[in-house]
Amino acid sequence: MFVLVELNIVTDWVDLNPLYRPTWGLQFNYDNTRVLDLIHEPMIQWSPEQLPTKTGIIQDWEMIDENHFKFHLRENLYWNPSYNISERNAGSNPLDTITTGELMTGLKNSEYSDGSNMQVTAKDAVFTILTFANPIVSLTPDLMGMFSDVYVDPIDPLAFHLHIDLYPATPKQEPFADFWMRLMERIMPEFFLNSSSLDVTFSSGGVKTIGLYDGIWNTPQWIEYSTSAFGCGKYMIDYYTDTITVFQRSPYWHGVGAIDGATGLSTFVQTINAHVINDLSVELAEFKEGSLDCMILNGVDIDRRLMQNDNRFTIIQSPSPNFNYMAFNLRSPYIGGEWNYIFNPDDTKEGYTLACSIRKSICYAIDKEEINKELYEGDKMMADSLFYPYTEFYYYQDIIKYDYDLEAALDWLWIKNDLSDITVTVKNHEKVGKDIIVKAQFDDTFDITSALLKYNVNNGTWINETMIERADSKFEFNIGKDFEYLDSIELFIEAQTSEGDKIKSRIYSFNVGVLNPILEASYPTSIVSAFTVILILLVIRRRKRSEQ
């Protein structure tokens, strides 16, 4: 097998205890994560498509019911030696010359690991979950609060059970609790970090925990583990200084590939030198001259583009777990607010509210490709889904897309000037025991001679009532107050013009005692015109820009 003697990278770390640099939360740090990934293993592996796989420490699971899972750990996994490397340096003897008497011993029973005597078991997984969930020691306990119980299987020491109860009052939501991602945390050695204390504490999910106590982080074992951590991963720390951390390949790694589950593997890099360089320009210069073997090129876009055309460099690109997006405040007027409940009267926009129509117009008017070109020189991907492309399995294309289209933007906006010829409001419909008054206001372009109100109660017989004219083009009728709470009423208006034409409103429905914003609607055309003017100005500006 091909073996690379050494690999030079740039990264740094703050704390080697996974508990204090978790996968999620404000304490997450990319540099620290790269170091943790070398020496630790997550409880569950994750595929490039962002799905849990059966290729890691957890190699299988079964769903007992929607809220109860049983997980099975891989056999023959062992903790790397519990080396204390705090006093080591570049001149120290190789790691494998360290005697067992020099190994760090655990807090509970003074046990040590020599690489082959301490097996990774379900006890370690349970301890990891309960420790991450315990407010006494964890920085992010609430992220594990969805677990209402976790315990080792009473028969199989390589199996453990998880119960999910994120929302006790809403059991139907439990299958959607995001617990899979929490199993990505790196497993920790229970024999080394747990104690023999009988103190009882509780996880954020209410699970009784024995062994953790206030102040445990000040014990020698926890202090040592922050700088001399050992895991069950591919590498072991050899030594570190202020400017470099050196890792050696572990001969104890289990040898299972995370992507395809291939067995019998070993890491092909013998030594990894992680340099501490805090100046990006210095890091770039050393990479170009060959002192560094790889580099993350975020932040040096000009150089990256030059390297992409230089066959001396191999550039690997992948989507990141984030994206830029625009959000609408659905409480704001016109793009939200009451217009969220008023349906667009245009027959070609059936089922869309006025607010949604305006939001669609704005979306079509935004040229994402131009933004990408002007701000990012075309480097960004266009995402159409609420899931970012990084989560490939969940990302989908079967969705309404808003490619730049001014004609579509105008189509969704201009129809606001073609609102219904009749505005219908129903006074007191949200009250019980009050006279319900139906009002109709007609467009001034029509000469209305009469208006007929047609309505039914609880799907009964349609009742016809002649409305009373109160002012020009304004009619009303009092249908009374003898209705029960939640009585269902449907109504529409039919009017006669002086030219003999008939005008009908659409059918409105409501329940007595329940507010229906549609029946309090008005359509301020001045606001609609303002939107139209803004869009026209954008078009003119764009045309002028293209002519320059």
Report domain 14-233's class.
alpha beta
Query: 372-421 pLDDT, tens per residue?
Result: 888 888 888 888 887 777 777 777 778 888 999 988 988 887 644 444 56
Query: Which pLDDT band, with edges at 50, 70 and 90, does 181 fall under?
Result: confident
> What H or E segment, with its residue span, contains residue 538?
helix 525-547
Instruction: Write the secondary structure of 48-84 as one string of H (helix), E (strand) and C (coil).
Output: CCCCECCCCCEEEEEEEECCEEEEEECCCCECCCCCC
Highest mean pLDDT among 81-90, 175-184, 506-515: 81-90
With contact defined as beta carbons under 8 Å apart, do 516 and 343 qualify? no
448 vs 191, 427, 442, 494, CA distance in Å? 88, 22, 8, 10
pLDDT of residue 533: 43
Query: 120-130 pLDDT, tens per residue?
Result: 999 999 999 99
| Helical packing angle, 525-547 and 354-365, nearest 10° | 10
pLDDT of residue 534: 47
Lowest mean pLDDT among 174-178, 490-494, 498-502: 174-178
Query: 324-356 pLDDT, tens per residue?
Result: 888 899 988 788 887 788 777 677 888 888 889
Domain ranges of the chain: 14-233, 279-317, 420-522
CATH topology classification for 420-522 = Immunoglobulin-like (2.60.40)
